[in-house]
Each structure stands twice: as C-alpha cells, then as structure tokens.
Amino acid sequence: MAFFACENKKKNRVKIASDNTKIEKAIHVADSFYKKKEFDSAFYFYNKARTKCNPNRDAKKYVYCMYYMSEIQQDHEDYIGSTTTANETIPYLNKVKDPNYVWNIYSVLGRNYYYTYDYPTAVYYYSKAFTLNTDRINKLEAKNNIAAIYIKQHRYNKALQLFLSISKEKIVQQNPIYYSKILDYIGICYFKLKNEKALAFFKKSIQINTETKYEDGLGKTYYNLTEYYRNNKALSMMYAKLSYKYYTLSGNTDDRLLALQFITENNSSDIESKKNALVYIKIADSIYRERQKAKNQFAKIKYDSKKEQEENLKLSVQKIKNELQLAKQERRNITFYIIILIASCLIVFLYIFLTVRANRKKIEATYKSETKISKKLHDELANDIYHALAFVENKNLSSEENRIHLLKRLEGIYSRTTNISKDNNLETSSQNFIASIKEMISSFNTSQVNLLINGLDCISWSDIDKDKKTAVYRSIQELLVNMKKHSDASLVGITFKELDNFIIINYTDNGKGADTNKMAIKNGLKNIENRIGSIEGGIGIYSDLGKGFKVQIKFPV
C-alpha cells in the first residue's frame, strides 16, 4: 500500500509540474500578443492559461490572467463582463502575497464602476487599493482616481486639495505626461470654482504636452479650454477644432466624438453642421459595432472554455454514475409504482387547486384593471374636460388666441386618452416591445433633432414584467415630449444597459438644460418619477444651464 501511495504522489507532482509549464507557456504567448495590442489573441491565451490554473494552488498566476482579461474587456467597454471577470478573483486575493496584483484587481473594478456611474462603489475600491502596501506611484494613482471622481460629484474643493498634494510629489514632477494630467485636473477644479488661476495651469499643461508630443493630452487640455472660453464663440470653436485634431491623431475616438459634438452644435453653417453630424453618427456606429463584436467574442471564449471543462468533468462523473446506477435500479423499481400513485393524486389535486386559483385571479385582475382605468379617467381626464368646457363657456372663441388655447387643451386631453389606451394595450413581448419603443422614439426624429439609441436590443425584455415595460415606454415618451417642448436640442442619446440585476437607462440631450438647484420637478418629470417609483426604481436628474439635460432611470429586473 505504501508503494502505491508513493507512486500516486509522484504522478501528482509530475502532473503539477507539467501543468505549470503549460500555464507559463500560455501566459508568455498572451503577454506577447498583449504588447502587440492583438487583444483578441491575448484574451484567448490568458483564458487558456487560467483554465489550467488551480486558484487555490496557483492563485498568483490565476489572478494575473484574470486581471489582463478584465483589462481587455474594459478596454472594449464591456464593463459588466470585466467586472464579472475581476470579481471571480476576490476569493483568492488573500492567497496572493504580492500586493501589486491585488491593487490591479481593485483598480480595474474601480474603473468599471466609474465608467458605469456608480461613483460611491468606485471610491470604495480605489480606497482599498490606496491602503495596500504598494509602491508610491500606485498609491498616487489611486489618490488621483478618487480625486477625479470628486470632480464628477462636483466636490471641486475636495478634488483640488488632492490634486495639489499630488502635484508636489517629486516622482510626479519627473514624469511629464502624468504631471501634465495633474495640472489639467487642477485647472478644471479652479475653472469650476470660477478662479482665474485655471488658465495658467491649462497653459502649463499644453506647454509640457507640446514638448513631449503627447497628442492625447493636448486634445484633453484644448477641450477644457473650449469649455473655459464657452462665452467667446471664436476662441471656443478654435480650441474645439484643435481638440478634435489631436484626439484624431492620438486615436482617442470617444473624446474625438465629444469635440466633434461641440463643433457640430456650435457651427453656424447648416451644411457644415449636418456634415459633422453625419461623421459623428458614422464614427459612433463604427465604435459600437466593433465593441459589441469584441464583447461577444470574449464572452464566447470564456463560455467555450467553461463548457469544455464541464464536459470533461461530466465524463469522469458519468463513469461513476453508471456503476452506481446498476445498484440503484432494483430500489427504483420498487419505489416507482408508489411514486406514480402519489404523483397521480397530486396532479389531480393541483389541477383542481390551480383551476380555482386561476379563475379567482382572473376576476381580481379584471376588477383591478377596471378600477385602474376608472381612476385614470377620473384623475387625468375629468378635470381637464371640465376646465375645457368652462373655457368654452366663458371665452370668446372668435379670438384666434382663445381658439389656439382651446386646441392645445383638446390635444392634451387626446394625448392622455391615447396614453391610457396604450397603457392597457401595449405589446409587451420582447420583439413587439422593442419595435413599439423604436417606433415611438423614431416619431420624434426630425430634420432638427437626431436621436441615437444604444443597447435596446441587448436586454432580454421578455424576462421583464409588463408593468415595468409600460413604465419604461411612458417615461421615455415623457422625456422626449419634454425635450421637444422645452430643450431646443439637436442631438438626443438614449442608452440601455443591464447591470447587477438592474436596468439602467441614460437619457442625454444637448439642449439648453436647466439649473437643477432651482428646478422644481413637476408635470412630465413628476409623472416619470411616479411611474419609476411604482416599479421600485428611481431617477436622477443632472443638468446645468447651457449644458444639456441628463436623466438616469434605474429599476430592478
């Protein structure tokens, strides 16, 4: 027995050594592809290496592979996939002795939550990264990322103090590119705080980036100057065009679109503006197609490797099951007839029970639907009709102004009647719902307004309740009605995505915006708040005068 035990241990050691060789070889190939920016091949070999890792024994290599896989997914804007990949390493981080590996995971999670607008969670992971015993540059990067989030949260004084402390670090001043970024951030903080010191920091950043020929940095600073000189149309447009030029040279397509949007919105020439809008749409569509293709490819690679592992495990398990099956067969035969008898009785009982319950629910649903429609007719139409009648009786309808006013009231009553009808007849199957919402949105797409939809087809609407889909349909319709009435927008973007069992809808337009500190939520926005609240969701409104209007809708799946 001792002899066979020694033989088994020897075989295990040989197998582990062989696996380690295969893992290291796959990682080496993956690293080579990553350096050459051939990310699809790099992802494939990192995934191949991690499938051969035992996370409990090879935690360091496993975390290393998963980190680069999540980085590649993040680079292609697959933030949900990247978060899922990074989170798979969490149970094994305490087995990794090198804190820099842990720092990488926390940082990639922080960026994912930052890009998906979950700023508190992003700060949580960056703070965890900051507390690790890593080198100084990693700590400063975590501190920098926290300060950047404070800017997004409009906590400019707090962000400024952090960036000023970072700018004094000798290691930062010796790195021109990083130093120029910090100077740019300081300029943004002073600009938001209406302090004239901002301009000096922007100019210093441009000087450093020009000397180092850092095109992406020049694009960013010139765009900040675009915002800084927004009240000076000529200067603002000049810096916007410079920003577009350098973002194009650096290959930064996302920020290039931001500069192009500004140029399009502020160009006095209709022909030039239309031309820029077409370029914007073409670039945006191209980016979306490429990133969606990459997301699907990376998901397929992970799925195929997982499927292969599961099939190998099933083959091993099946052999054992076959041997046990023969022993259990006799007992199964004995219990089989008993089960059939019990099951028959249960089926009869369930049939009677479910039939009675279904009839009761049908009656209750009919009553609720009738009550709901009755309430809507009373609350939403009765008062409007009464006021319309009073207006007809008390006003001179020969007056053009009175006739127009009456027509607007009647149009509002008709719109409400249509909404009540569609609330109860909206097609809520996946394909019908998508078609309905696209048709509704397209009705607002005119020669003056361009509408962009992103991610609508990526959500499994068939798994979502009818009430939630109705609330989504009505809320978007309400937003677009408000846009058409009040915003003077020329470009509207609506993005759908699913994250952590929540549906998130981001509405953005480039209209005249509103001061959220003085804005009272009423009428259309109040209707949206009530609808989303009824499905246990919430809305966030983000707007400044002259900076467009943004609304985020979030509700559980």
Residue 539, classed as helix, strand or coil, is strand
d(CA 551, CA 519): 14
**Number of structural domains, the chain?**
3
Indicate if 444 and 550 belong to the same structural domain.
Answer: yes
Q: Is residue 204 part of a domain?
A: yes
Element containing residue 415 per DSSP (H, E): helix 400-425
**Assigned token pair, 150:** 């404070």
Residues 39 and 98 placed together within one structural domain of the fold:
yes
The string of DSSP codes covering 75-99 is HTT-HHHHHHHHHTTGGGGGG---H
Within a domain: 242: no
What CATH number did the domain enclosing 175 receive? 1.25.40.10
Domain boundary among 173, 193, 213: 213
Q: Please report the pLDDT score of residue 242 as a whole number.
A: 92
Single-letter amino acid, residue 60: K
| pLDDT < 50 regions, the chain | 1-8, 11, 280, 282, 285, 287-288, 291, 294-295, 313, 363, 367
Is 486 part of a structural domain of the chain? Answer: yes
Is residue 475 domain-resident? yes
| DSSP-derived secondary structure letter, 456 | G
Give residue 442's pLDDT. 85
Do 166 and 102 belong to one domain? Answer: no
Distance separating alpha carbons of residues 240 and 409, to the nearest angstrom = 44
Residue type, 273: S
In Å, what is the CA distance from 532 to each residue of 117, 316, 516? 19, 50, 19
* 153, 91: one domain: no
Please report the pLDDT score of residue 340 as a whole number. 86
Q: Are residues 183 and 87 in the same domain?
A: no
* Same domain, residue pair 21 and 57: yes
What is the DSSP-derived secondary structure letter of residue 465? -
CB neighbour list of residue 169: distance below 8 Å, 6 or more residues apart: 136, 140
pLDDT on residue 522: 55
Residues 108 and 185 in one domain: no
Residues 523 and 432 in one domain: yes
Amino acid at 24: E
In a domain, 33, yes or no: yes
Instruction: Please say which residue of 77, 92, 118 terminates a domain.
Output: 118
Q: Are residues 538 and 451 in the same domain?
A: yes
Please report the pLDDT score of residue 258 as a whole number: 83
Report the pLDDT value the prediction gives residue 294, as an integer from 0 to 100.
47
Strand order in the sheet with 450-454: 450-454, 491-499, 502-509, 549-556, 538-543
Query: Do 148 and 97 fall within a single domain?
Result: no
Residue 260 is assigned to a structural domain of this protein: no
| pLDDT number for residue 14 | 52
Q: Given the structure tokens 């502020």, which residue do they identify?
A: 266
Q: Tell me: do 21 and 109 sit in the same domain.
A: yes
Whether residue 325 lies inside any domain: the answer is: no
For residue 492, what pLDDT is reported? Answer: 94
Q: Whole domain around residue 521: which residue ranges?
A: 428-557
The mean pLDDT of the chain is 81
User: Taking the mean position of all CA atoms in its chain, how far away is CA 366?
Assistant: 38
Could you tell me the sign of the dihedral formed by the alpha carbons of 482, 487, 492, 494, in that order?
negative
Of the three residues 118, 150, 173, the one that is the final residue of a domain is 118
The rounded distance, in Å, linking the Cα atoms of 107 and 138 is 10
Are residues 22 and 65 both part of a single domain? yes
Q: Is residue 273 part of a domain?
A: no
